[in-house]
Each structure stands twice: as C-alpha cells, then as structure tokens.
Chain A
C-alpha cells in the first residue's frame, strides 16, 4: 500500500464506520473485506477498468482508490474493436474486463476466482502527472479516446460538497442504479461511501423486475436518475405507488421536461420526499449546482445555486455559464502524452447559456455548442455531421437538434439512403435509429457568408414539427 499526501479518499471511506457494501444476495461486506490485496506490477501505473456495478467491480475500484494508480473507468458493453483501439493508444499496465477471455500482449489473472484481470506483458513506464487519478469519458460507448482528467482532490472536494446538501445518512440504503463509469453514478458511490450506510451493488436496471424486487427487499432510501430514468419511472407507474422507505430522489444529466418535473414535484410534496434537481458535468467531476427541494415548485426548471465552494459567473457577452471550484478538472486527454499534464482552467466554460433570476437562482436557457443530450449522453452534432460528410461525401447532410429527444438530419437530395445512415450511426456511435428524424428541405439555409445557418434551420425544423403534431 502506498500513501501520497493527497491520497485520502480511501481514508475518508474507512472513517465511515456505518459503511457496508451489499451484493444482491444481501451479503454484507466492510471496506476492508473488499479492498483485499491485489498484486500490482508497479507503484504507479495506468489501469483500464471496464466496470459493471457488481460487488466484484466495486471491490476492484475500492482497491484502486487505495493505490496510487491512475484509472480509466469504462463501460463494459463497449464494442470490442473500440476497446482494442483505446488500449492500443494508451497502453494500460493493467486491464479489468471480465467479458474478454484473452487479450493480446496481456497475461490473464483471476479476480474473485473469475477471469477478468490482465497484466501487460511489457510494463511501460507511464508518464503520469502526480495529480492524475481518474479518467472518465463523456461519450458513452462510442469509444472516443477523449477523456476528462480528474484528481483525487477533485473527487473528494465534489463528494464533500454533495454531502453538504444531500440528506445522506449512516442509516441509508442506496442502490448503485447508475453506472460507475458515469460521473453521476460515481458521485453517488463516492459521496455515499464517505457519508452513507449500505450501498447495494447491483446490475439490475429499472426496466427489470429484479430492480423493483430489490428496492422492496433492501428498502432503498434514495434513487438517482437522468431524465430518461424518470420518464421510465412515470411509464412504470411509480407515481401511483407508495415507496415507504424512500426519503429523497435526485435528478441530473439533463433537463427533465417541465410537465413531468411538475408531476414528480407534486408527488414529492404529497409523500414528503425531497426531490433534488441538480446540474453538473464530468468536467466538474460531477456536480456544480442543485435546487433546494423546498424551492422546486417555485423555481421549476431552475438548476438552482452552486454547491458549497463553487461559483457561477455568466459571461456578459455570450451568456455562457462558467463555473469555478475545487472540483474543476485538469483538462482533457486525447492520448498518452496528455497524461503528463494536469492543468485546471481558471474556470470551466460549460457550453451552456444561462440567466440568473432576482433571487439568485440559475436557469439554463440554451447551449453554445451544438450538442444534444440523448439518454443522458452528450452528442456533438458537428462531430456527427463530419462523420456523415466523410461517409457520404456527395450528399449534404445537416444535423439539427430541436430538443433532447431527436436528431433531425436535413437534406435536399432525395436519394439519401436513410436506412444506411441510421445503421451507420447505430454502429459507430450507438445512436438509436428511433431517435433519428429525416427532413427533406428545398434548400439548406445559409448565413450571408455562406455558412450553414443552424439557428434558422433549428427554428424551421421546430416550426415544421409543430405542424405535424
């Protein structure tokens, strides 16, 4: 075991005497039960961890919180060619991936009596900045080599700010119902490991009966969800039922539509639950602001106020929302050379446009970058457009996002192969064909200097879709 001056996340977790990790059988483990010894090939290296939410994954993650290694948390269901490409680029010293039986250039080892660990045959001496602890992706399973660089200090600072406003208690029973490789899911894990009670390690999803059985059996005291999860809750009759153990709900990862939010707000008031609307980004470790539950109905649609130790400013010219605080990341990595550096920007430019009301509450009014958030995952429309342009060079395909529900692909040429485009987007970037709309237009709108006028295109598409409905 190694200790550096800034490595004390594990210490904070060990100080929590109520902390227990439960598997789906209900077997309970303490932190020291789980963070058993693992032989590592060096004092400091880079590990790629394809983590699900099982007790085995949690156990490994805890182990790496105790070690001075840098870790990348990745989705286990990423397509194998994407995994291979990423590994080729970053050359991790260790990989955890129970889904693959063999890995070229790596030697297999067991973890919890099962396959999954791989040690690199050639142990590269990685040039890692001392502050670098965690690499997270913001693009889901698309296999983008771009990572957000975070330090242990970032993780601790954000978890402590979250503990400052969420009613996390030692008697809590909290499910890991969001993925650990997702910043929001990881923040549920870290904040509850420091201040909560029981954490239930489960891969059950809200769309499965097991999840609701486990909820009843363990008596979950809170649930976390992106807008899509709350849409599922509503469709699954959540608002018509009693959930006696539930004390609070959190929602982040995008804007929940106002109508649904109002329904949940009403439900929360009737059942005396706290409903926390929160706002954040992976670049801020996870959380930047929250709306106090008692303000939910008065300030419906607001992202609230900054968390403890955080500040918002709005750029007077662009209206872009900036955030500063101890949880702001150390820059992006696009390859191994970037791992040597860790430079926090003075403030994080969120890419969101915002306004502040007379009571000091912040509201998101739009986005600076052309981004849509589908199912909690950021999709950059410019990148999609560039990809389509390289695949279909003779067609002009313009991507427009009018809401966080669909991507509209606009075109003029009637010979556009819609099925091929859908298939490509699903295969390459895992965008469901169901959320792609095609729109033939008489012309692509342009500004006076010949650039595509996305603003006008978006207005045009929104107007025409209103006519359809």
Chain B
C-alpha cells in the first residue's frame, strides 16, 4: 500500500466514512463526519497507520486534507 492509500485508509477509519467519500478538498467541519469529536479519532488513525507520534501543535494544524499532507511531510511522510 502506498502512502496515499494509507492516508485514505486512515481517513476512512478515523472519520468512519467510505473511501469513495475521500477527496483532497476535505476539511474540518466541511462534512458532518469531521467534527471536534471525530478529529481525535482521525489523529489516532493517522498515528496508527504511519506509526508516528503527532505533536500537540500539529493536531490543530491538521484541519484539512491538504494541511494534513503538509504536516505529514514534517514526519518524513510524503503523499
């Protein structure tokens, strides 16, 4: 599985949405499934999938698909 597939899997798992609903324009509060409650599940899914520990300040930064890919770069994960 490449990193994009992994990312989509984390999205699907964290937000409980089908992979078909995942696109690069996804943003926090942009869909009902992505709210403050599910955000922590998404962070946990990203940590699990990529075997990383996400820093506190990055949690707030990861507010859209695009921003998540940007933050993941810091952890040496390129999408």
Beyond contacts A375-B37, A426-B16, A432-B41: 8 other A-B pairs, Cβ-Cβ < 8 A, are A207-B39, A207-B59, A208-B63, A209-B61, A235-B56, A236-B59, A433-B16, A434-B16
Which bucket holds chain B's interface residue count? Answer: 10 to 19
The answer on a CB contact under 8 Å between B41 and A207 is no
Q: Mark A108-141, 1 if CB is under 8 A from B, else 0.
A: 0000000000000000000000000000000000
The answer on a CB contact under 8 Å between A232 and B60 is no
CB of A431, distance to nearest CB on chain B (Å) = 10
A-B contact pairs, 12 of them (CB 8 A): A207-B59, A208-B28, A208-B60, A209-B60, A209-B61, A212-B60, A236-B56, A237-B57, A375-B37, A432-B16, A432-B37, A432-B38
Is B51 interfacial (CB-CB < 8 Å)? Answer: no
Is A422 interfacial (CB-CB < 8 Å)? Answer: yes
CA A375 – CA B38 in complex, angstroms? 11
- Interface residues in A430-445 (C-beta closer than 8 Å to B): 432-434
Which bucket holds chain A's interface residue count? Answer: 10 to 19
Q: Which of B's residues lie within 8 Å of A, judged by CB?
A: 16, 28, 32, 36-41, 56-57, 59-61, 63
Q: Which of A's residues lie within 8 Å of B, judged by CB?
A: 77, 205-209, 212, 228, 232, 235-237, 375, 422, 426, 432-434
Residue in contact with B41 in the complex, picked from A77, A209, A426, A434, CB distance below 8 Å: A434
The answer on a CB contact under 8 Å between B38 and A434 is yes
Contacts of A422 in B (CB 8 A): 16
Contacts of B39 in A (CB 8 A): 207
Residue ID in chain B nearest A430 by CB atoms: B32
CB of B53, distance to nearest CB on chain A (Å) = 12
CA A295 – CA B60 in complex, angstroms? 34
A432-B37, A434-B16, A434-B38 known; A207 vs B60 contact (CB < 8 Å): yes
Contacts of A228 in B (CB 8 A): 37
Contacts of A209 in B (CB 8 A): 60-61, 63
Contacts of A433 in B (CB 8 A): 16
CB of B14, distance to nearest CB on chain A (Å) = 8
Residue ID in chain A nearest B14 by CB atoms: A434
CA A433 – CA B16 in complex, angstroms? 7
